[in-house]
Amino acid sequence: DTYMWVIYLTGVLNFIPLLLYIYIPEIRLTALIITITVFIIGRITVFIKGYALFNKSHIGVLYYFVYLCGVEVMPYLIVYKAISFIL
């Protein structure tokens, strides 16, 4: 539930900066920095909430790292590889 809430909130917070990025070329760098900052804060929040869940459930730290690698980090690496193959 918290994961979807964080994803929803980052999407809502990124809406205006992304519109400004598309339609106003003068402030593209600022809008991009805001978008990246909101995305990173959302990812950090997911990591912290995930760790709290694993810690509360008395599941080991190694399982948390497996979760991070399999669910949080690996999709970004796959997207990066796909983009590098296309380019």
Q: What is the pLDDT of residues 21-62, one digit of tens each?
A: 999 999 999 999 999 999 999 989 988 888 888 888 888 888
**Within 13 A of 40's CA, how many CA atoms are on the CB side?**
6
- Kindly report, residue by residue over 12-29, the tens digit of the pLDDT: 999 999 999 999 999 999
pLDDT score of 66? 86
Tell me how crowded residue 77 is: count the other CB atoms within 10 A of its CB. Answer: 10
What would the DSSP string read from start to end of 59-79?
--HHHHHHHIIIIIIHHHHHH
pLDDT score of 16? 93
> What pTM, to 2 d.p., does this model score?
0.75
Contacts of 1 (CB under 8 A, 6+ apart): none
